[in-house]
Each structure stands twice: as C-alpha cells, then as structure tokens.
C-alpha cells in the first residue's frame, strides 16, 4: 500500500522554523495510524529524506508510547509528530544521549510557559507536577555497528480539556493555564530547541547534556515509591547511567533498572 493512500497531506511552507534543518521539511497529515510508521515507510519507499524532516498529524489513530502503550489525543487539539535525525556520529552504546537531548529540547520549549513544575520523567516523559503532559517513542535504526537514523515520535497534550478514563494521569497545557495555544508556534519552538541540543551532542558536549538532564529529572533526590516484579519499595533516584539505566538508592544500597523492570507508583 502506498503510504499516501490513507492520508490527506498538506505541505506547509513556514518561516517560523528558524533553525538550520529541523522542521524545514514539514509535512502535515489529516489522519495517519502513527507518524513514526509513516516516516519509516517514507524512508523505505522514497528517495533519501533530509535530516530534520518533520511529520505532523492532526489525528493519529494508533499512536504508541513506551512499551506499546496507546497514546490518546483528541483530533486537532494536540501535537503528534515525528522527527527524522541521522546521528551517525553517536556510538550505539551512547544512544541514550539522544534521548536526553530530545527530552531537553522539548523541556526547554515548554519551560517559558510552565515553569519549575515541568519535569522530565525518566526516561523521556514530560510531566507537570505528578501529571503527564506528553511522551516520546524513539526508534533507532542501526546499520551494522552504526546508528544510521532515528525516528523520534512525540505526543504532547496542548489544548485538550477532557481525557478518557484510560488516559491515567494525563493533563494538558490548556488544563493547567486555562487558555488555548498555537500548535504550530509550539512545534516551531520544540524543533528549534531539539536542534540546539542535537548540535551540542554532535559537538561532543555530552557532559553538559547528561548533567542538565539530571537537573530536570522528575523525582531526582526525592523519596518515591516504585515496584519491581511484585515488590513495592521506597527509594530515591540518584542518577542515570551513561547507557540510560535508572540508579535508585534504597536503604543505602544502589540498584540499576531498565524501563521494563521498574514502575513508578507515585502517580
């Protein structure tokens, strides 16, 4: 099936994307199963796409989060988009640094609106207080021992006022600030900030990105409740390993966990 058959595509010519490449090639779709899937299909079925290509959808009927969780988004009210990057400069062992850079780019774009209650919940969810504003799904495509490209799917609740029961602790900027926001302007800010952190990563400023990520981290140096297997416990996040493993101190003993091993119970 041709990737264009199920979607109406509008190409936006935009001058509010002031960066060098992220967002300069922008496609918006009326409806798609998943912007990540659409971008993967484009990569495999077309001529090479320029780095920084952004696919944005008004409606995404099969959006996914981490661990195949569904993403609930009311059509036309939120941001659901994917970005293509080509971080071949990054060692496979360091690919979590890309997660850090993207998370920080989203954070910095939203911080002027939301202030200090904005946090990054490990590994890459965007939180306001104890509520979830959005998240991302980063799919890295490898070629041999090289990171060939990365498809970064991002979903953010902007103007949605009501959420279905299955949406858990979701919130939106509209719920928090009681006003509507221009989706395209926020998208442009996010793209510009993602590009800035990505270029810092490319320039080798890894320590800056790792240290900044920690200062923005939800629950950092705070007592939180967690669940591992069927065991619940209290612990304190004290760090994130280079490879992205979460470091928790429990009764003066450090343990590391990957995403599938541990669950936050505070929310």
Q: What is the pLDDT of residues 6-16, one digit of tens each?
A: 444 545 545 56
- CA nearest neighbour of 29 among 85, 83, 84, 80: 80
Q: pLDDT class for 70, splitting at 50, 70, 90?
A: low
- Looking at residue 48, its pLDDT comes to 86
Q: According to the model, what pLDDT value does residue 4 have? A: 45
User: Of 84-88, 136-140, 142-146, 244-248, which range is least confident?
Assistant: 142-146
pLDDT on residue 239: 97
Residues 145-164: what's their mean pLDDT? 93
- Which residues lie closer than 8 Å to 238 by C-beta, 6 or more apart? 220, 221, 247, 248, 249, 254
Q: What percent of the chain has pLDDT over 90?
A: 77
Query: Mind listing the pLDDT tens digit for each residue in 20-38?
Result: 899 999 999 999 999 999 9
Question: How confident is the model at residue 67, as a pLDDT?
Answer: 45
Chain-wide mean pLDDT for the chain?
Answer: 89
Mean pLDDT is lowest, of 96-105, 172-181, 219-228, 257-266, for 257-266
pTM recorded for the entire structure: 0.90
Q: Which domains does the chain have, with CATH numbers?
A: 9-215 (3.30.930.10), 223-264 (2.30.30)
- pLDDT, residue 17, reads 75
pLDDT computed for residue 1 by the predictor: 38
Alpha-carbon Rg for the chain, nearest whole angstrom, is: 18
pLDDT tens for residues 88-109?
A: 999 999 999 999 999 999 999 9
Judge whether 121 and 127 are in contact, CB under 8 Å: yes
| DSSP secondary structure, the chain, as one string | --TTTT--EEEPP-SS--SSSTTTSEEEEEEES-HHHHHHHHHHHSSPPPTT-EEEEEEETT-B-GGG-B----TTTSEEEEEEE--TTS-GGGTHHHHHHHHHHHHHHHHHHHGGGEEEETTTEEEETTEEEEEEEEEEEEETTEEEEEEEEEEE-SS-----GGGTTB--HHHHHSS---HHHHHHHHHHHHHHHHHHHHTT-HHHHHHHHHHTBTTBTSEEEEEETTEEEEEEEEEE-TTS-EEEEETTEEEEE-TTTEEE---
For position 257, what pLDDT does the model report? 97
């Amino acid at each position: 099936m041709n990737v264009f058959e199920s979607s109406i595509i509008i190409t936006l010519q935009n001058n509010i994307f002031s960066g060098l490449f992220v967002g300069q090639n922008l496609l918006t779709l009326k409806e798609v199963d998943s912007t990540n899937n659409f971008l993967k299909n484009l990569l495999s079925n077309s001529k090479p796409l320029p780095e920084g290509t952004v696919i944005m959808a008004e409606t995404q009927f099969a959006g996914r989060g981490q661990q195949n969780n569904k993403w609930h988004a009311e059509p036309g009210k939120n941001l659901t988009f994917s970005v293509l990057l080509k971080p071949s400069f990054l060692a496979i062992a360091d690919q979590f640094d890309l997660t850090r850079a993207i998370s920080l780019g989203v954070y910095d774009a939203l911080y002027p609106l939301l202030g200090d209650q904005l946090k990054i919940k490990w590994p890459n969810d965007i939180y306001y207080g104890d509520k979830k504003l959005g998240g991302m799904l980063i799919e890295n495509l490898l070629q041999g021992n090289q990171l060939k490209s990365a498809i970064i799917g991002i979903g953010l609740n902007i103007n949605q006022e009501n959420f279905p029961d299955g949406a858990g602790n979701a919130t939106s900027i509209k719920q928090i600030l009681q006003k509507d926001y221009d989706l395209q302007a926020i998208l442009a800010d996010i793209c510009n900030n993602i590009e800035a952190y990505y270029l810092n990563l490319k320039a080798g400023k890894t320590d800056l990105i790792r240290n900044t990520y920690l200062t923005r981290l939800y629950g950092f140096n705070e007592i939180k409740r967690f669940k591992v297997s069927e065991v619940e416990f209290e612990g304190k996040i004290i760090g994130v390993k280079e490879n992205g493993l979460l470091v928790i101190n429990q009764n003066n003993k450090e343990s590391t966990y990957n995403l599938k091993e541990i669950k936050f119970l505070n929310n």
